[in-house]
Structure 1
């Protein structure tokens, strides 16, 4: 069975960069179903095409401040099934926190100057489209400012290995396959991570997201 190409809406106000990204993504097997140069165009394109993932620049016309990420928050609220990958030169902490407020599943935030390879970017797109996360450690550090930075050091090597795979967006089943252990064993390691990070169960149960954020912040 042939995998369906990833359907992408691309929001970038620089025409040259936008056209270049369309070509690069096309060469990597993605289908850019629409492009947008402004936040309203982005919102309209997502509503019309319902892509697997929307790539969003933060600063877009007319003010070039935070129109893009405001639009991302609006898209997240209205169509949570659409993955969001913020791709920018800037970190807007307040808006990033709002974007992640209901969990990091299906959310990415990468900094342009830190993405060295096209394959890395496309891998992040697929991860986000599948409900995983792709967060640059610098973004995470700013979101976690003032937090403890020693909890990862309390983990066993296997617990840290499991957490690292969690941070890459893998499910417990996927982690078990990669480590050649049972899914039950992975669940025990994950539970140990939660305990060591002091993350009790809640109704929302976003402990997995918090554990990953802690790992990324402390592993810079």
Structure 2
């Protein structure tokens, strides 16, 4: 499945992949068409641009994250001129297996691109070094949190509800909600559902504890 809003690039990818023996189930030009086509045809992998209609910001990346949620075994290869970090962490939250992110101006060989696509379909990873470097630099750390926000997150990681956290910290539930909303923003966790944001925050907390002494 190919998702690329530039018609010439889209048709070029179809021709290149078909010439090398791959079957292209569909080629679409916007994220909504991508979501519908994947639900309908269930391909092995999606090649998607990052910036797509209507705003040409990160629609393709957000669609990829949604596809990752709907179809966990789907291979996803992002192919773009840009490095976007906003939703990339969400896409990689469950691990990089089956994920690729290549920059258009750095792929100089078609066979290299096809090999990366096969690797993603097989559950491997194909990440451009510049993408990895940018994601690591952009990833907020727990150091950005105040002691109170860190304590709130620790209780969240222990499985406590907001009401239980309020009782444990001897503050109001509204104060807990304020700490929670602030730490979500500081950790740059996208505003999807509240449950999803809590899970991402806890994962970030657990990652931050890996290097701490017992």
TM-score, normalization by structure 2: 0.64
1:94: how far off?
Answer: 2.0
Kindly report the root-mean-square deviation, in angstroms, between the aligned alpha carbons of the 2 structures.
1.7
User: 1:191-218, CA deviations, whole angstroms, 9 ceiling, x for partnerless residues?
Assistant: xxxxxxxxxxxxxxxx9xxxxxxxxxxx
Partner of 1:71: 63
Runs ≥4 residues deviating over 3 A: none
**The structure with more radius of gyration:** 2
Question: Residues 21, 144 of structure 1: CA spacing in aligned structure 2 closer, same or farther, 3 A cutoff?
Answer: same
Partner of 1:100: 92
Partner of 1:14: 6
Secondary structure of the residue that 2:87 maps to in structure 1?
helix
Q: What is the distance in 2 between the residues matched to 1:30 and 1:38?
A: 22
Partner of 1:36: 28
Secondary structure of the residue that 2:18 maps to in structure 1?
helix
Give 5+ residue unaligned stretches, structure 2: 140-206, 208-214
Residue correspondence of structure 1 range 39-118 to structure 2 within 5 A: 39-118=31-110
Secondary structure of the residue that 2:25 maps to in structure 1?
strand
Q: What is the distance in 1 between the residues matched to 2:48 and 2:138?
A: 28
Q: How many pairs were matched up?
A: 141
Q: Does residue 13 of structure 2 align to residue 24 of structure 1?
A: no
Secondary structure of the residue that 2:126 maps to in structure 1?
strand
TM-score, normalization by structure 1: 0.62
